[in-house]
Structure 1
Amino acid sequence: AREGAAHAVDLPARPAPRTRRAEILAAAVPLFARHGFAKVTNGQIAEAVGLVPSALYRHYPTKMDVLVAACLQAAELLTQAVGRSLDGATGPREALNALAATYVAYSFEYTELTSVAEAEVAGLPDGLRQPLVLAQREHIAVWEEQLLLARPELNPRQARVLVHAGFGVVVEAGRRLHWRDTPAHRDEVTALVVGALGLTAP
């Protein structure tokens, strides 16, 4: 049996690329993560899936459409993961521990996808960015609500600052660990996030 909060996370599986459109997205994300969205060409994406560049447009009219699809996939996977993590949580502290373990697992499991979404979402046109911003706010609100229940001495602004600090811990620690995905690393980073919230790990 697997032990530790980080090991018990039930992450949704990334959709298998069963269509050409999905294959293009799966090939584009590592390129965006490695080189940055602006530097990746349609030709590179097409080559990665064995297409000529002109064939790409039948599936994604622009490179921006590929980026939007990546950002939406990241948001959807996180929403699903959060929903699963809160199933069965009996109180706010347990919920926060589950949220922390889930966010860490998600960040290590989908490192390329999350890095692309976080780095590039600000550059999306307003109409395309808005649904992603709303999804991000809803995710943060879940953490804030549970933290205010667990630590009633906090005000909403203080809770928000601590939640963002927790997210920052994941990014900084993940980079220092070179995103090497091991059970020990997930546990260590989860404990750091819980600590950043001013809570003690279970």
Structure 2
Amino acid sequence: ILAAAGPAAAGDGVRPVELPAQPVPRTRRAEILAAAVPLFARDGFANVTNGQIAREVGLAPSALYRHYPGKVDILAAACLQAAGLLAQGVERSLREVTGPHEAVAALAATYVAYSFEYTALNSVAEAELAGLPADLRRPLIHAQREHIAVWEQQLRLARPELDPRQARVLVHAGFGVVVEAGRSLRWRDGPDHRGAVTALVVAALGL
């Protein structure tokens, strides 16, 4: 399927994606977050201990509490960082689009680029969001809904025959395509892979 999509099909009319750089850790709190994300991605949040995170940054486990009330707060910070990076990427990608078809293609290219470039961060946010306490999950759910609403709006402009429910289903199907294709590629990054997966997403949306 990936070979059939081909990078050239995705590149037609899609502007190069300019993602925001992941913040460089300049504080101890940021260092803890940067150390925790790959551990959560590799082993799962529930299996990572405070001791493991602390060792990665040269701290005693008890010292983590000076920066985060608990491990779950580190997870919430990771999810917020993921949502923020994606929102910034979307804002940049839509600045100069000239119509809804171009907007949908730009959204697809941005989500694919984000998924490949920030694989660990995105996988943690996707896998662990549901396990957060309600008060920590609420702003993340809001950000997620805002993101999906942008897709739905642009897709319905491009395909006026769709009702809101149909558009929402297609958008989630597009996200699923990225996950499945990314896994099949073992998230090996590169313009050809990004282009092929973007083409698959656009096709899944019926454009």
Scaled to the shorter chain, the TM-score interval is over 0.9
Task: Give 2:88's aligned residue.
Answer: 80
Equivalent of 1:37 in 41, 45, 49: 45
- Structure 1 segments of 4+ aligned residues over 3 angstroms from their partners: 3-7
Deviation at 1:6, TM superposition (A): 6.8
Write the distance in 1 (CA, Å) between the matches of 2:198 and 2:14: 7
Deviation at 1:195, TM superposition (A): 0.3
> Structure 1-normalised TM-score?
0.95
1:96 aligns with 2:104: yes
1:48 aligns with 2:53: no
Task: Give 1:21's aligned residue.
Answer: 29
Alpha-carbon contact 1:6-1:183 (below 8 Å) kept: no
Query: Cα distance 1:6–1:95, how it changes in 2: closer, same or farther (>3 A)?
Result: closer
Q: What runs of 5+ residues in structure 2 fail to find an aligned partner? A: 1-7
Write the distance in 1 (CA, Å) between the matches of 2:69 and 2:117: 29
1:9 aligns with 2:17: yes
Deviation at 1:190, TM superposition (A): 0.2
What are the equivalent positions in structure 2 for 1:1-202 lying under 5 Å apart? 4=11, 8-199=16-207
> Structure 2-normalised TM-score?
0.93
Write the distance in 2 (CA, Å) between the matches of 1:158 and 1:54: 50
Write the distance in 1 (CA, Å) between the matches of 2:164 and 2:202: 18
Write the distance in 2 (CA, Å) between the matches of 1:27 and 1:6: 34
Query: Cα distance 1:70–1:34, how it changes in 2: closer, same or farther (>3 A)?
Result: same
Q: What runs of 5+ residues in structure 1 fail to find an aligned partner? A: none
Alpha-carbon contact 2:112-2:198 (below 8 Å) kept: yes
* Partner-residue secondary structure (3-state), 2:125: helix
Deviation at 1:7, TM superposition (A): 7.3
Deviation at 1:40, TM superposition (A): 0.1
Alpha-carbon contact 1:11-1:106 (below 8 Å) kept: yes
Deviation at 1:75, TM superposition (A): 0.5
Quote the RMSD (CA, aligned, Å).
Answer: 1.2
| Count of paired positions | 197
Q: Which one has more relative contact order, counting CA pairs under 8 Å at least 6 apart? A: 2
Deviation at 1:155, TM superposition (A): 1.0
Alpha-carbon contact 2:14-2:105 (below 8 Å) kept: no
Task: Give 2:3's aligned residue.
Answer: none
Alpha-carbon contact 2:50-2:64 (below 8 Å) kept: yes
Alpha-carbon contact 2:14-2:102 (below 8 Å) kept: no
